[in-house]
Homo-oligomer: A and B are copies of this chain.
Amino acid sequence: MKEKKQTSMRDISKITGVSISTISRYINSSGYVKPSTGEKIEAAINKTNYVPNRNVKSVFGYKSHNIGLIVPAFTNPFFSEFSTYIGNYIQEAGYGCILCFTGDDKNTEIRNWELLKGYRVDGVISARSLYPDVWSKLGIPTVSFESNHNEQEVNICVDNYNGGSLAFNYLNKIGSKRFVHVRGPESFKATNERFNGFYDSAKAIDKNIEIIKSEKDYSLGTDISDNIKAFKFKKGDGIFVFNDINAINIISYLIDLGFRVPEDISVIGFDNSYISELSIPKLTTIEQPVKEIALKCFSNLLELMEHKVVVKSEEVLPVKLIIRDSTR
């Protein structure tokens, strides 16, 4: 199991005849080193392509300088964007990003946490955790996005309730005759909130809504669920779908059925991920401010890692209705 050893400080020491402590001082600029000695060391480093072993620091109980990122998958473009932002913030701050996928599976998520703990990550950013209780046990600074809230940890989320409300009110305003909600998987915190916002706004003006349940976060390509196939869509329907990728799939399905979007049926998505601009018709949707979400997650994590007290344990970011061409 032993691998070919890479160059170590000891090797540099042997080559230069300079002691290890001096090498360390030179590399970390943590003490006086005579210029000529420095040059010798520099030469040996270049010759051997020596790079300090970052893992040693975590052995000493220093920061390991890596951060874990736990997300469901990249098949949902929202998490691609989220992870691009987070990954870049981590990278720019000089940390390493250890990436883990849960596939929205609880056991996989638990294994991810153990892996990250084994790496002694300095912190974790976790999106849509199914197992938030693990945080307090593991004792790693953690910020989560859209997790079922655990009082002990910092959670970022968006105002899903208002999102549902905005969606209903807009569908009503443009004169939809029937209100349909394609509801997300039950395990997501956001599912009920979006539903409730939609439902309460309908009830407030004495309207009924129709519900279609969806079990999957994303259905790639033409993989339309049976629940949707079983539903009888009608001209005049206004449909609020729990995320963009499913909304676009459904538009595609409606067009195959012979409906026109938005002339016959209006569709609103959720996320405002980049695909909402690419689809034709362009998708009307509820924006989640990904970049701000990512920044909030990362900056809060930095504060937690520096043992600062983060004031709010739950922070709710606003959503916004983005009107495009899938509604009329």
A residues whose Cβ falls under 8 Å from a Cβ of B: 1-6, 49, 51-56, 58-64, 66, 69, 73-75, 77, 80-81, 83-84, 87-88, 91, 96-101, 103, 108, 112, 114-115, 117-120, 122, 137-139, 220-222, 245, 248-249, 251-252, 255, 274-275, 277-282
A137 cross-chain contacts in B, Cβ below 8 A: 49
A55 cross-chain contacts in B, Cβ below 8 A: 55-56, 58-59, 64, 119-120
A58 cross-chain contacts in B, Cβ below 8 A: 53, 55
Q: Given A91-B101, A278-B245, A280-B252, do A59 and B61 touch, yes or no (CB 8 Å)?
A: no
Contacts A/B (CB < 8 Å), 19 sampled: A1-B63, A2-B60, A2-B62, A5-B61, A6-B117, A54-B118, A54-B120, A55-B64, A56-B59, A69-B99, A77-B77, A91-B108, A96-B115, A96-B119, A98-B99, A220-B274, A221-B274, A248-B278, A249-B278
Bound state CA distance, A49 and B118, in angstroms? 11
A53 cross-chain contacts in B, Cβ below 8 A: 58-59, 118, 120
How many copies of this chain does the complex contain? Answer: 2
**Binding site of A, secondary structure by majority: helix, strand, loop or mixed?**
mixed
Q: Given A1-B62, A59-B59, A96-B98, do A51 and B117 touch, yes or no (CB 8 Å)?
A: yes
Chain B's nearest CB lies how many Å from the CB of A269?
Answer: 11
Bound state CA distance, A120 and B55, in angstroms? 8
Q: Given A98-B98, A118-B54, do A139 and B279 touch, yes or no (CB 8 Å)?
A: no
B139 touches A6 (CB 8 A): yes
